[in-house]
Amino acid sequence: MIKYILKRLVMAIVTIFVVATLTFFLMNTVPGGPFTAEKSISEQARKNLEAKYGLDKPIMQRYVTYITDALHGDFGISLKQRGRTVSSIIATKFPVSAKIGGISVLVALILGIPLGCIAALNRGKILDNIIIVLATFGIAVPGFVVCTMLLYFLGVKLQVLPTTFGDGSWTHFIMPVLSIAFYPTAYIARLMRSSMLDVLGQDYMRTAKAKGVSQFVSLFKHALRNAVLPVVTYVGPMLAYTITGSFIVEKVFTIPGLGREFISSVLNRDYTMIMGTTIFLASLMVFINVLVDIVYTIIDPRIKLK
Amino acid sequence: MKKRMLALLLALVMTAGFVLTGCGEKAGSGNGGNDGQQTSDEGGTKKELTVQIGPNPETLDPALNSAVDGGNMLLHNFECLLTVGEDGQIKPGQAEKWEQSEDGLTWTFHLRDGLKWSDGTDLTAEDFVYSWKRVCDPNTAAPYAETVLGMVKGFAEAQAGDLDALAVSAPDEKTLVVELSSPCTFFESLAAFATLSPVQKATIEANGDSWATAPETYVSNGPFVVTEWVSSSHIVMSKNEYYWDKDSIKLDSIKFMLIEDDNATLSAYQSGEILFAKGVPTEEIPSLEGNPEFHVDPMIGTYYISLNDQKEPFTNEKVRKALSLAIDRDYVANTLMQGTYSPAYNFMGPGWMDTDGTEFINNSNGGQPYISEDYEANLEEAKQLLADAGYPGGEGLPALIYSTNDSGYHKVVAEYLQQAWKQLGINVNVDTVEWASFTPLRRAGDYEISRNGWVGDYSDPSNMLDLLYSTNGNNDGKFVDADYDAAMEESRTTVDPAARSAALHKAEDILMEKTACIPVAYYNDFWLQSEKLEGVWHSATGYWYFMYADIAE
């Protein structure tokens, strides 16, 4: 087990290194640069800027400098957001995205699991059909439609919720969380329904019933615990994906989060920000995946880590 | 079994952990509802105005800023030697009077008494000397250095690192003397340009480039001071108690919501959270026509098309002119662009100031538009020109490539141009390029035809006419014409207003005659403003002034 985890960790570090290297060279081959604008600045000003940020050096030298600095924990300063370090930007933006994303995952679990169970238990009945239709709707409707609709009805028509994130009191969270939780809730409900149906048809469930185990116990002790396994597999990567922030939701609700920062750094060719956010997000993804694998073997002893 | 429970618990804790990491710093003080208006405080009623004028500014450092978004923030926080008033005219700012020598080479500014920084310390002429030299410093790498100080004596030496060479001096605490290497009749506009705001040496030396990112270290001298900046969310500015004209300021604070999405901006406006919205979604404009809260006003700037004048067939003036005449400008501006632009029959539109203070456009081409407003006749002439050029009915011309980025009306205009030029028998392919790659492509001349545009930094016509000067960095069409260059040089060296005006008009005559580029439409500013909001004005260059605003009961 320990050996396996160590092996996975070494692999994780290699993965991150490869991602960083690829990103570095790819972003430098894409045309454009951080100092281009509709109005060109003078040649001298551009040269001064490039010298200031070390962009006048050959690419290999920049790569070595960057990796060396990064290994010492220095991710440099943003080329666009003047006077801010990449680390400080990530440190202020990530918690905002993580909080909204985390709440959304909780909401999705709290709503999705019971909905899926209810549907499975009422298979073929009207309740099941309603839930299936809702879940299909939830999976089919794209996120930006959801947030625009919410914004229009709750923010503009009824005026019950603030339209911008502002200082982030609890009312500001409702619409972004609903927008982000929409898809995973629907997905979890569907996943839960089919896996529950699968479990309910198992021999051990019949045995439990024959033994005279009450329906409550058989459901919660035997069925649910087994049926929830696919959800756990799904939640891991989904959590990693969600807490890193959604570009669209953050843009629509003016949330100062990392998702927006990541996309705009690419569009603006903010090289240091691209590197910093990529390395950060890649690390997060890789380590959450390792964690999920470990958690999974604990939940389901049938799986052995090798 | 225990193990499994433990694992489930672990998974839950993990999720909760991520949720809680964000909780720390925010003690919610939000009061959800109508933030756009006044918020009560224990000490009485405080006037807070909430508006949207742009997204998160890249920087609030006057020397480093090169964008209108940043400039709009800066002019509330800083005051230059001079400022721009409601009527667009130059007004005294930190300097109460100023004069230029007869040869136009020496400018002397006299500062007001008792000027202070927002931290309460004295502001002197020496602070301007420091700030202006900082703009030239290669270590500062200010993008607008050459635009605002290029004509000052010793600029080149200063840009090379010898800052003391810059001929800006403070003979006493209240006097600033600037010596120019060539006369600059619009130097007053530059003295009111945000890049030349005074900045405090003490805070910059103590905090480096990060001085302009935190309210604690952001010392300024304007009517407002930044008290909160949540990057990509909002900026709050409060009245500066040390500002010389603070008695004229009616608001206690202004909150700039940094909303990026236009639909979200409209929602915030409709819900009453903001009283002013600059980001109006273009698809909503038809529904806003006739609404007293929706305004459209001209800006100085032109949406134009660059032709790569160094490439065949654009080396032929007749082809260039034919392409220009085949465009129905009225249709483009009023139908395609829904009146948010105005048709451009000249290169220099309304708002540019001639040397005698009148509208430049009124004196252009004897007061007549260069391009006739009669589209049918234009189209006939275009066909004839193309035939004269040796391409009757477009025969012999390869398919041309029109490059543009995809935002605003650019794609719609591109599709229209395909149709318009098809009438001449010319096939056009549209090449949509991502924004960050688009500007370098254009700059390198790596295109045939491309969308272009310019909004003036100040109202002197040279600001836009310089774009076609052969060696100008923004001369994307690579237009090279000795007479044009001579006219522009004349406008830079002469001190006689009439001669200067004549030179500038001559330049535009040449530009239009040779179709150096194709003007299509003039920019307009359009916005939503609550009827409760008073005393707001804007310049034709796109800057917004909320400092003297008030909210009616």
Residue B40: the pLDDT is: 42
Q: Among B443, B535, B461, B473, which residue's Cα sits nearest to residue B503?
A: B461
Interchain CB distance below 8 Å, B260 and A254: yes
Relative to beta strand B253-257, strand B234-239 is antiparallel
pLDDT bracket for residue B369 (50, 70, 90): very high
Give the DSSP H/E element, type plus range, for residue B229: strand B224-230
Q: Is residue B12 situated within a structural domain?
A: yes
Quick: pLDDT tens for A205-251: 888 888 888 888 888 878 888 888 888 888 888 898 899 888 999 99
Same domain (yes/no): B368, B414: yes
Is some CB atom of chain A closer than 8 A to the CB atom of B26? yes
Put simply, the chain B residues between 213 and 272 with a CB less than 8 A from any chain A CB are: 213, 230-234, 257-261, 263-264, 267-268, 270-272
Interchain CB distance below 8 Å, A30 and B232: no
Percent of chain B with pLDDT over 90: 69
The CATH number of whichever domain residue B490 belongs to comes to 3.10.105.10
Interchain CB distance below 8 Å, B435 and A267: yes
Interchain CB distance below 8 Å, A163 and B271: yes
| Of residues B235 and B139, more confidently modeled | B235
The mean pLDDT value of chain A amounts to 88
Letter string b/e over residues A178-187, b meaning 16 or more CB atoms within 10 A of that residue's CB: bbbbbbbbbb
Angle at B114 between CA B112 and CA B119, to 5 degrees: 120
Residue type, B222: G
Q: Is residue B389 situated within a structural domain?
A: yes
d(CA B68, CA B538): 12
Is some CB atom of chain B closer than 8 A to the CB atom of A239? yes
Contacts of A287 (CB under 8 A, 6+ apart): A12
Residue type, B240: N
Q: Is residue B205 situated within a structural domain?
A: no
Same domain (yes/no): B281, B325: no
HEC-encoded secondary structure of chain A = CHHHHHHHHHHHHHHHHHHHHHHHHHHHHCCCCCCCCCCCCCHHHHHHHHHHCCCCCCHHHHHHHHHHHHHCCCCCECCCCCCCEHHHHHHHHHHHHHHHHHHHHHHHHHHHHHHHHHHHHCCCCHHHHHHHHHHHHHHHCCHHHHHHHHHHHHHHHCCCCCCCCCCCCHHHHHHHHHHHHHHHHHHHHHHHHHHHHHHHCCHHHHHHHHHCCCHHHHHHHHHHHHHCHHHHHHHHHHHHHHHCCCHHHHHHCCCCCHHHHHHHHHHHCCHHHHHHHHHHHHHHHHHHHHHHHHHHHHHCCCCCCC
Residue B36: the pLDDT is: 45
The CATH number of domain A95-259, selected from 3.40.50.2300, 1.10.3720.10, 1.10.150.120, 3.40.50.150: 1.10.3720.10
Which token pair is B518? 């194709």
Residue B176: the pLDDT is: 96
pLDDT bracket for residue B27 (50, 70, 90): very low
ipTM (interface pTM)? 0.88
Quick: pLDDT tens for A94-114: 999 999 999 999 999 999 999
d(CA B492, CA A227): 80
d(CA A89, CA A273): 9
pLDDT bracket for residue B159 (50, 70, 90): confident
Q: Has residue A304 got a pLDDT over 80?
A: no
Rounded to an integer, the average pLDDT of A128-146 is: 91
Q: Has residue B31 got a pLDDT over 60?
A: no
Put simply, the chain A residues between 82 and 141 with a CB less than 8 A from any chain B CB are: 82-84, 89, 92-93, 95-96, 98-103, 105-106, 109
Is some CB atom of chain B closer than 8 A to the CB atom of A68? no
Residue A305: the pLDDT is: 56
Which token pair is A129? 């059909």
Range of the domain at B547: 3-59+210-289+527-551
- Which of B12, B18, B20, B472 to mutate to probe the A interface, most A CBs <10 Å? B18
Is some CB atom of chain A closer than 8 A to the CB atom of B145? yes
Angle between helices A86-121 and A271-299 (to 10 degrees): 40
Same domain (yes/no): B427, B332: yes
Quick: pLDDT tens for B176-193: 999 999 888 889 999 999
Q: Has residue B43 got a pLDDT over 90?
A: no
CB B298 within 8 A of CB B551: no
> Looking at chain A, which residue has its C-alpha nearest residue B22?
A95
Residue A155: the pLDDT is: 87
Q: Has residue B4 got a pLDDT over 60?
A: no
Same domain (yes/no): B393, B460: yes
Contacts of A6 (CB under 8 A, 6+ apart): none
Residue A10: the pLDDT is: 92
Report the DSSP beta bridge partners of residue B178. B107, B168
Q: Among B199, B216, B256, B253, which residue's Cα sits nearest to residue B232?
A: B256
Which token pair is A203? 């021999």
Contacts of B374 (CB under 8 A, 6+ apart): none
- Which of A157, A254, A270 to mutate to probe the B interface, most B CBs <10 Å? A254
The CATH number of whichever domain residue B269 belongs to comes to 3.40.190.10
Report the DSSP beta bridge partners of residue B431. B403
Is some CB atom of chain A closer than 8 A to the CB atom of B18? yes
Specify the 3-state DSSP secondary structure of B425.
coil
Q: Is residue B127 situated within a structural domain?
A: no
Rounded to an integer, the average pLDDT of B395-404 is: 92
pLDDT bracket for residue A2 (50, 70, 90): confident
Count how many domains chain B has: 2
Interchain CB distance below 8 Å, A165 and B259: no
Same domain (yes/no): B510, B538: no
Same domain (yes/no): B322, B450: yes
pLDDT bracket for residue B412 (50, 70, 90): very high
> Looking at chain B, which residue has its C-alpha nearest residue A100?
B19
Quick: pLDDT tens for B457-513: 888 999 999 999 988 888 899 999 999 999 999 998 888 889 999 999 999 999 999
Residue A132: the pLDDT is: 92
Residue B530: the pLDDT is: 96
Q: Has residue B344 got a pLDDT over 50?
A: yes
Same domain (yes/no): B312, B399: yes
d(CA A72, CA A95): 23
The mean pLDDT value of chain B amounts to 88
- Which of B271, B300, B437, B541 to mutate to probe the A interface, most A CBs <10 Å? B271
Which token pair is B371? 């391009």
Interchain CB distance below 8 Å, B59 and A82: yes
Relative to beta strand B400-404, strand B253-257 is unpaired
Quick: pLDDT tens for A150-183: 998 998 888 888 888 877 788 899 999 999 999 9
Same domain (yes/no): B346, B250: no
CB A119 within 8 A of CB A127: yes
Same domain (yes/no): B267, B222: yes
Q: Is residue B100 situated within a structural domain?
A: no
Residue B44: the pLDDT is: 59
- Which of A27, A46, A82 to mutate to probe the B interface, most B CBs <10 Å? A82
Burial of B348 (0-12, 13-18, 19+ CB in 10 A): buried
CA quadruple B405, B409, B412, B416: dihedral positive or negative?
negative
Rounded to an integer, the average pLDDT of B100-115 is: 93
Quick: pLDDT tens for B237-268: 999 999 999 999 999 999 999 998 999 999 99
Same domain (yes/no): B244, B326: no
Q: Has residue A57 got a pLDDT over 50?
A: yes
Percent of chain B with pLDDT over 70: 92
Q: Has residue B19 got a pLDDT over 90?
A: no
Q: Has residue B29 got a pLDDT over 70?
A: no
Q: Has residue A37 got a pLDDT over 80?
A: no
d(CA B81, CA B196): 8
CB B157 within 8 A of CB B217: no
User: What are the respective helix, strand and coil percentages of chain B, to the nearest 5?
Assistant: 35, 20, 45
d(CA B178, CA B197): 15
Interchain CB distance below 8 Å, B267 and A163: yes
* In the block, residue with structure tokens 């034709």: B540
Q: Has residue B22 got a pLDDT over 50?
A: no
Interchain CB distance below 8 Å, A167 and B10: no
Interchain CB distance below 8 Å, A152 and B267: yes
Q: Is residue B128 situated within a structural domain?
A: no
d(CA B452, CA B523): 12
Q: Has residue B1 got a pLDDT over 90?
A: no
Rounded to an integer, the average pLDDT of B59-88 is: 92
> Chain B contacts of A45, Cβ < 8 Å?
141-146
> Looking at chain B, which residue has its C-alpha nearest residue A159?
B271
Put simply, the chain A residues between 185 and 214 with a CB less than 8 A from any chain B CB are: none
Rounded to an integer, the average pLDDT of B66-87 is: 92
Q: Has residue B378 got a pLDDT over 70?
A: yes
> Chain A contacts of B19, Cβ < 8 Å?
98-99, 102-103, 106
Same domain (yes/no): B395, B468: yes
Same domain (yes/no): B493, B541: no
Q: Has residue B6 got a pLDDT over 60?
A: no
Q: Has residue B288 got a pLDDT over 80?
A: yes
d(CA A303, CA B1): 15
Residues in chain A: 306
d(CA B539, CA B525): 10
